[in-house]
Structure 1
Amino acid sequence: MTAIRLLQHRAPDGTRSVILAEGDAAHFILGGITSTRALALKAIGAGVSLLDAARACPQGAPVDIAAEFAAGNLLAPIDHDDAAHLVLAGTGLTHLGSAEGRDKMHRAAAETEKQTDSMRMFLEGLEGGKPAPGTVGQQPEWFYKGDGSQLVSATDPLAMPAFAQDGGEEPELAGIYIIGEDGTPWRLGLALANEFSDHVTERHNYLWLAHSKLRQAALGAELLLGAPPEHVEGTSRLLRGGAVIWEKPFLSGEGNMSHTIANLEHHHFKYAQFRRPGDVHVHFFGTATLSFADGVQTQEGDVFEISAAPFALPLANPLTRAEDSAVAVKAL
Structure 2
Amino acid sequence: MTLRLLQHVGVDGARSVIAATETGAAFVIGVDSVRALAERAIAAGSDLAAAVAACGTGASVDIAAELAAGRLTSPIDHGDPAHLIMTGTGLTHLGSAEGRDKMHRAAADAATQTDSMRMFLEGVEGGKPAEGARGQQPEWFYKGDGSGLVAPGAALTMPDFAQDGGEEPELAGIYLIGPDGTPFRLGLCLANEFSDHVTERHNYLWLAHSKLRQASLGPELLVGTPPAHIEGMSRIHRDGEVLWEKPFLSGEANMSHSIANLEAHHFKYDLFRRPGDVHVHFFGTATLSFSDGVATREGDMFEIEAAPFTLPLRNTLTKAAPQPVAVKAL
TM-score range, shorter chain: over 0.9
Match of 1:136 in 2: 134
Corresponding position of 1:257: 255
Cα offsets for 1:123-180 (capped at 9, x unmatched): 1001000111121100000000000000011111000000000000000000000000
Aligned residue among 88, 93, 97 for 2:95: 97
**Alpha-carbon separation, structure 2, partners of 1:235 and 1:97:** 16
Partner of 1:82: 80
Q: Is the 8 A contact 1:178 1:278 kept in 2?
A: yes
1:184 corresponds in structure 2 to 182
Aligned residue for 1:88, secondary structure, equals strand
The count of corresponding residues between Structure 1 and Structure 2 is 324
Runs of 5+ consecutive residues of structure 1 not aligned to the other structure: none
Per the TM alignment, residue 3 of structure 1 is displaced from its structure 2 partner at its CA by 2.5
In structure 1, what is the equivalent of residue 24 of structure 2?
A: 26
Structure 1 residue 60 displacement after superposition: 1.2
TM-score (norm 2): 0.96
Q: Does 1:37 align with 2:57?
A: no
Aligned match for 2:307, one of 293, 303, 309:
309
Partner of 2:269: 271
For 1:20, the aligned partner's letter is A
Q: 1:63 to 1:162 in 2, by over 3 A?
A: same
Kindly report which structure 2 residues correspond to 1:127-166, keeping only aligned pairs within 5 A, or say none. Answer: 127-166=125-164
Q: Which residue matches 2:172?
A: 174
In the TM superposition, what is the alpha-carbon distance from 1:13 to its structure 2 partner? 1.0
Q: Normalising to structure 1: TM-score of the pair?
A: 0.95
Q: Is the 8 Å Cα contact of residues 3 and 224 (structure 1) preserved in structure 2?
A: yes
* 1:58 shift after superposition: 2.6
Instruction: Determine if the alignment matches structure 1 residue 16 to structure 2 residue 15.
Output: yes
**Residue 3 in structure 1 maps to residue 21 in structure 2:** no
2:69 and 2:112 mapped to 1: Cα distance?
A: 53
**What is aligned with 1:296?**
294
- In the aligned structure 2, how far is the partner of 1:3 from the partner of 1:247? 28
Q: 1:113, CA displacement in angstroms?
A: 5.9
Q: CA deviation at 1:208?
A: 0.2
Q: Distance in 2 between matches of 1:249 and 1:114?
A: 30
Deviation above 2 Å: which 4+ runs of structure 1?
111-114
Distance 1:195 1:3 in 2: 25
Provide the residue aligned with 1:49 in structure 2.
Answer: 47
Q: Hey, what's the Cα distance between the residues in 2 that align with 1:167 and 1:15?
A: 33
Question: RMSD in angstroms over aligned alpha carbons?
Answer: 1.7
Unaligned runs of 5+ in 2: none
Q: Identity of aligned pairs, percent?
A: 70
Aligned to 1:67, the other structure's residue is in SS state helix
> Residue 281 of structure 1: SS of its match in structure 2?
strand
SS at match of 2:265: helix
Identify the residue that residue 114 of structure 1 maps to in structure 2. 112
Cα offset for 1:114? 3.0
The code of the aligned residue for 1:196 comes to F
Distance 1:30 1:291 in 2: 38
